Amino acid sequence: MATQKEDKDRIVLLQGTLDLLILRTLIFGPQHGQGIARDIQENSRDALLVDHGSLYPALQRLEEQGWIRAEWGVSGNNRKARFYTLTKAGRAQLAKEAGKWRRLAAAIGRVLGPDSAEA
Amino acid sequence: MIERRTSDDFAHEIQAHLELETDRLREKGMSEAEARAAAHRAFGNVTSAQERFYESKRWIWLECLVQDLHYAGRLLRKSPGFTTITVLTLAIGIGANTAMFSVVDACLLRSLPYPDSDRLITVWSRPPQGGHLGVAAGNFLDIQEQSRSFEHMGVVSQANFHLSTGEGAQQLSGFRVSADFLNAVGVKPAVGRSFVPGEDRPGAAPVAILGHAAWRGKFGGDPRILGQTITLDGRKCTVIGVMPESFRFALSPELWSQLAIDPATAGRDIPNLLIFAKLKRGLSLKQATAEMQGILGNLARAYPQAGLKGWSLDLVPWREEMAQYHRESVVVLFAAVGFVLLIACVNVANLLLARSAVRHRELAVRAAVGAGRTRLMRQLLTESALMAVLGGVGGVLLAVVLTPLASTLIAEPFRAGLAPIGIDGRVLAFTLAISLFSGVVVGLVPAWRASRIDLYNILKDTGRSLLGGAGGRRLRFGLVVIEVALALVLLVGAGLLARSLAAYSFVEPGFRVDNVLTMRVVMPEARYTEADRVRAFFRQLLDKARAVPGVRGACMASFMPLDGSAFSIRFQIGGRERKTEPLQVVTDGYFETLGIRLRQGRFFNARDNEAAPRVAIVNESFVKRHLAHDDALGQRLIMEQWRTGKEKPGLPVPWEIVGVVADVKVGGLGSALMPTIYTPIWQQPRVGGVLAVRTESDPAAMAPALRAVVRDVDHDVPVTDVRTMQQAARQSVSQPRTRAWMAASFAVVALILAALGIYGVISYAVAQSTREMGIRMALGARPRQVLYKTLRGGLMMAGLGLAIGIAGSFALTRLLKNLLYMVKPTDAATYAIVSALLIAVAVLAAYLPARRAARVDPSVALRWE
């Protein structure tokens, strides 16, 4: 059971969304998986729930696409971890996907109206 | 592709994640244990993430397959008996199908072995009364000149060539063709040249192209033959080429020579040539037919005396022409052999079901440790597919033996013109396809059932089985019923064909088939140009043949019964309109030698010679059709009289009917009776013919003596087609015999498989209910009662299968109608006999295990399990 009780208001991420958020997180520099999960959660003020388990297949997928690359390194608190870096192709993909996502979000916002968009 | 990442590496990463997360949570103030638990919770199912990582790899299915194959191979090795039976069963089914497919492929599916052979068309003329005839030489020339739909066009006429060599005379069979014929077929000699334009006109030097086999066999494969002259039909003839070894043509021609057509004299009323033409690329048969129809219409108007009014031209692809005679029997037997494979599959499926009942615990355990439903199904299907592929390999080996047998389904003269029948890439692809198909068919039911395993009950219960339960038993029962039904359909089909074959042996051929030897005597036309010379040859030959010890009688005739040949003659009788019927030209002694019965009047005798009044004998069918209301004797037939050495017959003259004889089967035992006219050979001699002698003892033994007689009369006259009438009779039903034998073998295999199916199910039921039987017997049931109870199960399967099979047979055997002789597709006797046979076999198959049940020792049975 991945979800806890207090998670019930959080939004479970769709696959494509998760990819986008990972790429977005990596803009600030190399990061390991746990760090990515934490950043997404914190940046969304805990509104987005990242199922840590599904993060890794997503990372794997992005790596295979060539949008990120990975190497083993040492974390801030001296733990060995696999660090992911955004590639040039990943950056381009992010720009493309983010634009698309924003247009979609705006469109959905317009359809739903100003009030419910906030909810 | 990215370098492959190991799952170890992935596991490390997850481990790192969990530790980092634990660190973070601890920093937030959780205890070590709390933090660790929370980190795990947030991660979710570690194993599942690993699996998802693992399965995201493209080669996962391949790894599973390798694993499954490995496992399946181990299982098959572990139970060699089971494996042998299933693989062998499938091998028989697949092998028989492979062999039949090689025939189907050559006969019906693939193109003929010529370039663009699908555009090779034959042109037939269709008279107003229907049927297909050739085209007259004069009309061919006009068609060739006027048509625009074809790249090449030529005519062909079958011919026997008389070859004189230093060591004696030989006969070569082959074709006379016009110059463009070989271009239409699309073949060039392997060495030398083809015929050139103009070589098919009178006056051109005679040339010949040898078939490859004849070149090897009769000319020693001598490459210097090119340009040499041989003596063909008494004339010098230059060999200009040798056909490629791979060239195949109907009737296996040994020699090709040119057909000389004289445009000035070519007739328009004897349609004896067959046109071969290569359709232009992109033109449809319909367009070409329309054009040809127009040309024929013009000819009919321009030459009213040719009598072409109401005639039409039919364009038939040569491929279709070759296929049509055998399509029905090939399709029917292919369907039959398909049934055999189905039965084999059902049988193996049943065995697998029985075995998966034994394996249910293994499968349950695998499911319990996390094998998914599809994964289980995939494993079982891999097992059955492996089995089927092994069966396929065995099948190919079997097919190597069976294919030559299956190919006899196509009569030899036709087979010679098809692509060679054998096991090649196409056939192997078919084998692979049906092997995999069989694998799925036999594996699907057990796999489907296994995937619906009720884990809880199996693991809780040490209980007997899930598949041996009521559902499984019903399923296996149903499968055997299907088997029995399919087997019955095959048995009925084979029974009908066998009865047809038997019917031929009761056919009254109209003459005495025993103790007659016949041989064709081929006289060179170049030397026998005068009637007197031909008559002298015949008289000498008959005198000497009659003098041979052991010969009771001898005669000559243009053709003999059963060989399917006759001349065709137009005649007039009683002032009515002209009709056409078959004509046989015979010597005196013909009817006596063959044992044809006289109905009225008299036979021919030696006095009916060239100096005597012209006489004729007709048969009963002739009287029935043409002289039903008159007395036949003394009637006059007005017919043309042939003149030896002349192309055209003389004017119509009267012939007096002096006798009426019984009907004779001319075209094989199964042929219809034909009205026939007989005339004495002395009154219109034809060059060549068949010598027949009636012997006191074994006719085949007389062959050397009679060959010597012919050689003695004329050293340069070869003898061919030496055979006894009995051989001819057998040969005339060789196609029905092959069909019947093949169908019968399929049916026997099917019957055995069905019996095995019944045996298997009953044995299994007996083994499963040993305890029950023991209890029954301990409570006082008699062995006899137990026996009946068990037997009843077998009889029910057989009975139900029988009922379905009979219904199926009624629906399907109608397709056999054209292959049957003197037997209806619904022949009650056949149905009764095969049903009885099937029930008997079913009872036996059920009795063996039932007896075992009846002999159960209660004390042993109660301790069972």
Q: Which long-range CB contacts under 8 A does B671-675 form with residues at least 24 apart?
A: B671/B564, B671/B732, B673/B510, B673/B621, B674/B566, B674/B581, B674/B582, B674/B621, B675/B581, B675/B582, B675/B618, B675/B619, B675/B621, B675/B622, B675/B624, B675/B625, B675/B626
Q: Do A34 and B24 touch (CB under 8 A)?
A: yes
Q: Strand B636-640 relative to strand B615-619: parallel, antiparallel, unpaired?
A: unpaired
Least trusted range by pLDDT, from B41-55, B543-557, B621-635, B690-704: B41-55
Q: What is the pLDDT of residue A119?
A: 36
Residues of chain B contacting residue A65, judged by C-beta atoms under 8 Å apart: none
The pLDDT-based confidence of B332 (bands split at 50, 70, 90) is: very high
Least confident of B56-60, B185-189, B556-560, B603-607: B56-60
Structure-block tokens of residue B1: 């592709």
Q: Are B137 and B261 in contact (CB under 8 A)?
A: yes
Which band of pLDDT confidence, cut at 50, 70 and 90, is reported for residue B371? low
Q: Do A52 and B10 count as a contact with CB atoms less than 8 A apart?
A: no
Phi first, then psi, for residue B265 (nearest 5°) are -120, 0
Q: Is the pLDDT of residue B803 over 70?
A: yes
- Distance between CA atoms of B356 and B466, rounded to whole angstroms? 9
- Is B17 within 8 Å of A79 when comparing Cβ atoms? no
CA pair distance B695, B361, nearest whole angstrom? 77
pLDDT, average across residues B290-295: 94
Contacts of A60 in chain B (CB under 8 A): 5, 10, 53, 56
Residue B34 with chain A: CB contacts under 8 Å: none
The pLDDT of B579-603, averaged and rounded, is 93
Tokens standing for B519?
Answer: 């041989």
**pLDDT tens track for B224-282:** 999 999 998 888 999 999 999 999 999 999 999 999 999 988 888 778 899 999 999 99
Q: Are strands B207-210 and B255-258 parallel, antiparallel or unpaired?
A: antiparallel
Q: Which residues of A touch B41 (CB under 8 A)?
A: 1-2, 4
A5 and B CB contact within 8 Å: no
Considering only alpha carbons, which residue of chain A is nearest residue B19? A79
Task: Classify A68 as helix, strand or coil.
Answer: strand
| Per-residue pLDDT at B363 | 73
Residue B725, pLDDT score: 94
pLDDT score, position B4: 61
**Cα(B844)–Cα(B855) distance, integer angstroms:** 17
pLDDT at residue A29, as a whole number: 86
B455 — pLDDT class (breaks 50, 70, 90): low
Question: How high is the pLDDT of residue B469?
Answer: 57
In this prediction, residues B640-644 reach a mean pLDDT of: 81
A3: pLDDT strictly greater than 50: no
Closest CA in chain A for residue B54: A57
Chains A & B: contacts with CB separation below 8 Å: 74
Residue B255 CA to chain centroid, in angstroms? 28
**Coil/strand/helix, residue B578:** coil
Residues of chain A with Cβ-Cβ distance to B45 below 8 Å are 2, 53
A48 touches chain B (CB under 8 A): no
Asked whether B536 and B683 are in contact (CB, 8 A), the reply is: no
Mean pLDDT of B395-407: 95
Main-chain dihedrals φ then ψ at residue B129, nearest 5 degrees: -80, 0
* Structure confidence by residue, pLDDT tens digits, B17-39: 888 888 888 888 888 888 888 88
- Rounded Cα gap, residues B411 and B564, in angstroms: 15
Interface predicted TM-score of the whole assembly (ipTM), two decimals: 0.76
Q: Which residues of B touch A38 (CB under 8 A)?
A: 21, 24
Cα B372 to Cα B451: distance, rounded to the nearest angstrom: 9
- pLDDT at residue A5 in the model: 37
Closest residue in chain A to residue B10, using alpha carbons only: A56
> Pick from B46, B54, B21: which is nearest to A53 by CA?
B46
For the segment B392-411, the average pLDDT, to the nearest whole number, is 94
Quick one: DSSP state of residue B170? E
The mean of the pLDDT values for chain A is: 75
Q: How far is B400 from B94, CA to CA, in rounded Å?
A: 12
Give the number of other CB atoms < 10 A from CB of residue A23. Answer: 23
Q: Name the one residue in this structure whose structure tokens are 């599809």.
A: B374
Task: Calculate how close chain A gets to B41, using CA atoms only, in Å.
Answer: 6
CA dist., res. A62 & res. B499, Å (int): 74
CA atoms within a 13 Å half-sphere pointing along the CA-CB vector of B183: 15
- What integer pLDDT is reported at residue B1 of this predicted model? 40
**pLDDT value, residue A2:** 39
- Average the pLDDT over B824-844 and give the result: 92
- pLDDT tens digits along B504-532: 888 888 999 999 999 999 888 778 888 99
Identify the pLDDT of residue B669.
Answer: 81
CB contact under 8 A, A53 and B13: no
Which tokens go with A115?
Answer: 């009030």
Spatial neighbors of B462 by CB under 8 A, at least 6 apart, are none
pLDDT in tens, B462-501: 444 444 456 677 888 888 899 999 999 999 999 999 999 9
Indicate the pLDDT class of residue B805, thresholds 50, 70 and 90. very high
Contact present, B94 and B439 (Cβ < 8 Å): no
Confidence of residue A12 (pLDDT cuts 50, 70, 90): very low
Q: Is B131 left (phi over 0), alpha (psi -120 to 50) or beta?
A: left
pTM of the entire predicted model: 0.76
Q: What is the reported pLDDT for B577?
A: 80
Q: Exposed, middle or buried, B862 (CB in 10 Å: 0-12/13-18/19+)?
A: middle
Where residue B456 falls among pLDDT bands split at 50, 70, 90? low
Residue B56: the pLDDT is 57
Taking the Cβ of residue A60 and every Cβ of chain B, the question of whether any pair is shorter than 8 Å is answered with: yes
Cα distance from B37 to chain A (closest Cα, Å)?
A: 12
Identify the H or E element spanning B638. Answer: strand B636-640
User: Which pLDDT belongs to residue B151?
Assistant: 96
Residue B383 pLDDT > 70: yes
Q: Tell me, what's the pLDDT at A78? A: 81
**Separation of alpha carbons B396 and B119, rounded Å:** 33
Sign of CA dihedral A85, A88, A90, A95: positive
Which band of pLDDT confidence, cut at 50, 70 and 90, is reported for residue B308?
confident
Mean pLDDT in residue range B625-639: 90
Interface test with A, best of B2, B9, B17, B25 (most A CBs within 10 A): B17
Q: What is the mean pLDDT of residues B400-416?
A: 93
Lowest mean pLDDT among A79-93, B149-163, B561-575, B591-605: B561-575
* Axis-axis angle for helices B80-104, B327-358 (nearest 10): 160
Banded pLDDT at B305 (limits 50, 70, 90): confident
Cβ proximity of B838 and B802 under 8 Å: yes
| Residue B476 pLDDT | 83
pLDDT(B194) > 70: yes
List pLDDT tens digits, range B117-165.
999 999 999 888 778 888 999 999 999 999 999 999 999 998 888 888 8
**Structure tokens, A93:** 């993909």
**pLDDT grade for B587, boundaries at 50, 70 and 90:** very high
Quick check: A78 contacting B, CB < 8 Å?
no
Kindly report, residue by residue over B55-107, the tens digit of the pLDDT: 655 555 667 778 788 888 888 888 888 889 999 999 999 999 999 999 999 99
Residue found by looking up tokens 């029974």 in the block: B495
What is the C-alpha to C-alpha distance for residues A26 and A16, in angstroms, rounded to an integer?
16
Interface contact flag, B52 A52, Cβ < 8 Å:
no
Please give the mean pLDDT across all residues of chain B: 87
The span from the CA of B653 to the CA of B734, in Å, is: 41
Tokens coding B478: 């149903």
Among the ranges given (B59-73, B780-794, B802-816), the one the predictor scored with the smallest mean pLDDT: B59-73
Q: Please give the Cα distance from B16 to A78 (Å, whole number).
A: 11
A69 touches chain B (CB under 8 A): no
pLDDT band at A38 (very low <50, low <70, confident <90, very high): confident
Greater model confidence, B44 or A58: A58
- Which one, of B94, B95, B108, lies nearest residue B332 by Cα? B108
Of residues B567 and B713, more confidently modeled: B713
Reply yes or no on whether the pLDDT at A11 is more than 70. Answer: no
Percentage with pLDDT > 70 across chain B: 93
Assign B174 a pLDDT band (cuts: 50, 70, 90). very high
